[in-house]
Structure 1
Amino acid sequence: MAGPIRHPIPLDSLTDYIRQNVPVISLPLTIQQFGYGQSNPTYLLTSSNTGAKYVLRKKPPGKLLSKTAHQVEREYKVLKALSEAAQDLPVPKVYCLCEDADVAGSAFYIMEFLDGRIFEDPALPRVTPEERAVMWKSAIVTLARLHKIRPEEHAALKSFGKPSGFYGRQVRTLSTIEAAQALVKDVQTGVEIGKIANFDEAMKFFSTTQPKDRSTVVHGDYKIDNLVFHKTEPRVIGILDWELSTIGHPLSDVSNLLSPYQLALEAGASVMFGETKGLIPGATPGLPSRQQVIEWYTQASGWNILPSEMYWGDAFGFCRNAVIVQGITARAARRQASSAKAGTYSERTPKLVALAWKYVSIDLLHLRSLGC
C-alpha cells in the first residue's frame, strides 16, 4: 500500500538525524508514502543494504487547525509506555521521537514495520468463515486486554489523562473542534466548510446525560483497519494509530469498533462509507453477530455493557465521527489531507452528518424512554 510521496521529506536531513540517533537503522534508505493515514502522513522506510523496513509518522505540513489533533509525540509516548506496561499487548516497537521541525518539516517518530494484513473492509474478505470468526474475536479480546491495563499502576501512563469525566471532556473538545473546522474555507472557492447540522443540540444532551463513569486506557480510534493481522494466522499482531489515546471510558472504543455493524443496516451505506454491506446479518459466512462480539468482550474484560450504554455509545460515536469527517474535509479544503482518498470525504460529509443525527434522534428517544 506504499507508493509515491505526496508530502515530501528532506531526505538528507532525515538521513543525518537517523545516522546520529538511530544507529540500528542501516543507511541509505528509500522512502515511499502509504495511501492510508487520514490524519498524519505515514511513510515506509526501506534500508537499501539490509531490506529492513520501518514506518515513519509525522505531522502534516503547514499551520494546523487543532492543537489536540496530529499528536505524533503523544502516539510515540503511549506506544513506548504500553510496550513496557503490557508485554502481551501487540503494539509496534518505537525507535525515536524527533520534535525538531527542521529535520523533516514537522515532528515525527519511527517505529517497526509489521509485516501482516490490514483489512479496510470489516467483513474481512478473502479469509475462510472459520478464520473470520477467530479474527473478530482476536480483535475484541485484544481490546479487552488493553482496557484491563490499570494506568494508575504505571507512572508513564498516569499522565495521559484524568481518571474521571471522560465524556464531559469529549463534549467540550468536540464542540471546540467543530466550531473551528466549520470556519475553514476552501483555498480555491473560498466557501466555508460550515457547521454540522444539529450538532450543538446533540452536544447539549450528551453533556447532561451520560453512562456510568469508567476509566481505563483507551485507544481512541479502535477499528478493524487500525489493526494488523498475522500474514497467515487469524490473530492480531499490532494496533496502529494511537494519537487519540488517553485515559477514558472503554465504551468509546467498543462502540467505535462495532459502528460498521450499524452502518451496514443503512440503505446505500456501502456507497457512502465504503464496504459495509458484508456486515448485514447472514451476508458473510462466519462473521459473528454484533451481540456475539459484545459477549466476547464481556467475557474477556469482566465488564457487562448494558444495552442502554451501547445505545448511548452509538449515538455519541456517530456525532464524534461526524466531527472527524468534517476535519478530513477541512484538511482537504486547506490541501493538508494525508490520505490519498481524502477528497472523497468531501462528498460523504453531508450524508454522514444526516445519518449521525438520525441515529442520535432514535437513540435519544430510546434513552429518554429508559430514563437514563
Structure 2
Amino acid sequence: MAGPIRHPINQANLERYLEEHVPEIKTPLDIKQFGFGQSNPTYQLTSATGIRYVLRKKPPGKLLSKAAHKVEREYRVMRAIGEANAKGSSGVQVPVPKTYCLCEDDTVVGTPFYVMEFLDGRIFEDFSIPEVDAKTRTAMWTDAVRTLAKLHSIDPASIGLASFGKDTDFYTRQIKTWSTICEAQSAVRDVDSGALVGPLPHMEELVSYFADPERQPADRATLVHGDFKIDNLVFHKTEPRVIGILECTKKKSMRKVEKSAPINDARSWEMSTIGHPLSDLSNLLTAFTTAPATDSPLTTAKSSLSNPAFVPGKTPGLPTRGELIAMYASASASAAQGKGTGYDPRPGGEVSWGAAFNLFRLAAVCQGIAARHAVRQASSAKAAIHAAERGPLAELAWALIVDREKERKGNKARL
C-alpha cells in the first residue's frame, strides 16, 4: 500500500502542470509512494475531491540501461488499447486503466512521468489466491488466461502500434538485448563496498543455448505485455474477473512474495512490445514451473522460489499447468474470431523452452535490481531481497534446459 515518499517529487511543479494540462484532477494533492515497483517509482495521488490516481516516473540519476524505465512506452500502449476499447476497433475488450497525461519535460518533477486511473479492486500477491474459495480461484485463473489470449489477439497495426516493435525474430532479439543488459549490469560496483554485481550463473551456456535457432520456437508476432502475471492484474472487488492489466501498486492479504512468485519487479507495460505470445504465457505460469515436484529438475536446484501450493492437487480449485495451457490454446482460438487460428504452444516442445527462457529473463531482471540497489537507485523497499534471487533463477533455468535436452535425446533414442 502507499506510504511515505522515498523518492522526493516536486509537488508544487506537479500541481501546476496538472492544473494546466489535466484540470479535472483537482489540486492540492496528497501524495504517497507505493512500496512496490522496482523499475519506476510509483505514487498515489489523491485529489482535492478525494479521487485517487497513479503516477509513474523514471527513477532519478543516470540510468543503467536505455532499454529500461520506458514510462513513455507504458503510456503509449495503455492509451492505444484504451482508445481501441472505446471504439471497439480491436474486436475484443482488454482491460486497462484510463490514462490522463504523459509529461516528457524533465523540469517538472525531474524525470518523465504519466498519470493514470487508480483501479479500486483486488490484487493478489500470492498467486495461489488463498483468500478465495476453490470455485472462485478456478474462475480467476481462467479469466486471467482468457484476458491474456484477448491481448494476444489484437493486431498492433489496428490500434496504431504497427511501429511498436519488429514483427520477426523476437527471441533472437530478446537474447541479444538481455545478454547486453546483463553484461552491463554485471560490471556495476556497489557505491559503498566496491563489490561487483557479477555475472549470472551459467551465463555463457544460457546465451548459447537460447541463441540457437534450431532450438527456438517457431516465430510469431503479437502484442505482448512483457510482465503478465497474477499480481499485475486487478480483479473486480466482488466478481472473479480481471478489470485491469497494469503494475501492482496496491497489495492486499500479503504472504511472503518469495513463496508465491520468483520476482515481483512490477514493470507494468514497460516491457510491452510486438513479440512471441509464449513469452507472456511462460511468465504467467512461472509459479507452476518452479513448484516442487519429485520428477522436476528443480528439486536438485536449491531455491527459495518454490511454492508448495502449486504442486498439482495441493490447492483446491487451482488449475494445473497443463490445464491452463489448454485453456489458453482454446481461448486463443476463440479470440482470433476469424483473424487466424490462434496459438497452441503445446506442439514441438515450445512450452519447456519458453519456461527456461522466462526464468533466465527474470534472473536478468533481478540482476538489474541488484545493479540499481548497488548504486542506490532501486525504488522498492524489497530491492535487496529480489536482487538475491538472480542466482537461483539462473540455476533453475539451466536445470530446465538440462532436463529438456535429456528428454529430447530420450525421445530420439526411442524413435
Q: TM-score range by the shorter chain?
A: over 0.9
Amino acid at match of 2:78: L
Whether 2:308 is the aligned partner of 1:277: answer yes
After superposition, the C-alpha distances for 1:15-62 in whole angstroms (9 at most, x for unaligned) are 111111111101110001111112111100001x31100000001111
Partner residue of 1:45? 45
| Local SS of the residue matching 1:39 | coil
Q: Is the 8 A contact 1:152 1:158 kept in 2?
A: yes
Shift of the alpha carbon at 1:200?
2.0
Instruction: Find the aligned partners of 2:307 and 2:40 in 1 and give their Cα distance.
Output: 25
After superposition, where does 1:15-94 map in structure 2 within 5 Å?
Answer: 15-47=15-47, 49-87=48-86, 88-94=93-99
Once the two structures are overlaid, the 10-residue window that deviates more, 321-330 or 357-366, is 357-366
**Cα contact 1:221–1:253 (8 A) shared by 2:** yes
- The structural deviation recorded for 1:151 is 1.5
The 8 Å contact of residues 138 and 236 in structure 1, kept in 2 or not, is answered as yes
Identify the residue that residue 277 of structure 2 maps to in structure 1.
250
Would you say the 8 A contact 2:301–2:395 is kept in 1?
no
Deviating more after overlay: 197-206 vs 61-70: 197-206
Structure 2 residue identity aligned to 1:114: L
TM-score when normalising by structure 2: 0.85
- Counterpart residue identity of residue 187, structure 1: V
Backbone CA RMSD of aligned residues: 1.8
Structure-1 separation of matches of 2:290 and 2:80? 34
Equivalent residue letter for 2:310? L
Q: Distance in 2 between matches of 1:25 and 1:368?
A: 61
Shift of 1:271: 7.1
CA distance in 2, matches of 1:366, 1:268: 17
- Match for 2:326 among 272, 288, 295? 295
Aligned to 1:310: 351
Structure 1 residues 123-162: aligned runs within 5 Å: 123-154=128-159, 156-162=160-166
Give the counterpart letter for 1:351 in structure 2.
P
Give the whole-Å Cα distance in 2 for the aligned partners of 1:215 and 1:346.
31
TM alignment of 1:1-372, pairs within 5 A: 1-47=1-47, 49-87=48-86, 88-154=93-159, 156-208=160-212, 209-240=215-246, 241-265=268-292, 266=298, 272-273=304-305, 276-302=307-333, 303-307=343-347, 308-367=349-408
Aligned counterparts of 1:36 and 1:370: Cα–Cα separation in 2: 44
Cα distance change, pair 349–207 in 1 and its aligned pair in 2 (3 A): closer
| 113-122 or 340-349, larger mean C-alpha shift | 340-349
Identity %: 54
* TM superposition shift of 1:361: 2.1
Amino acid of the structure 2 residue aligned with 1:76: Y
Change in CA separation of 1:36 and 1:269 when aligned onto 2, cut-off 3 Å: farther
Aligned pairs, how many?
368
- Preserved contact between residue 360 and residue 393 of structure 2 (Cα < 8 Å): no
Q: Which residue in the other structure is 2:252 paired with?
A: none
Distance 1:112 1:204, change over 3 A: same
Instruction: Output the CA distance in 1 between the equivalents of 2:410 and 2:365.
Output: 29
Q: Give SS of 1:264's match.
A: coil
Partner of 1:336, secondary structure, is coil
Question: Is contact 1:230–1:237 with CA below 8 Å preserved after alignment?
Answer: yes
Q: Distance in 1 between matches of 2:225 and 2:280?
A: 7
- Name the CA distance, whole Å, in 1 between partners of 2:274 and 2:95: 19
Distance (whole Å) between structure 2 residues aligned to residue 368 and residue 75 of structure 1: 42
1:119: how far off?
0.9
- SS of the equivalent of 1:234 reads coil
Distance in 1 (CA, whole Å) between partners of 2:167 and 2:67 is: 19
Secondary structure of the corresponding residue to residue 171 of structure 1: helix
SS of match in other structure, 2:123 = coil
Q: Which runs of 5+ in 2 are unaligned?
A: 87-92, 247-267, 293-297, 334-342
Distance 1:315 1:194, change over 3 A: same
| CA 1:368–1:22: 2 relative to 1, 3 Å | farther
C-alpha change, 1:333 and 1:250, in structure 2 (3 Å) is same
Residue by residue over 1:124-153, the C-alpha shift from the partner in whole angstroms, topping out at 9 and shown as x without a partner, is 121111100000001000000000001133
* TM-score normalised by L of structure 1: 0.95
Q: Distance in 2 between matches of 1:249 and 1:193?
A: 30
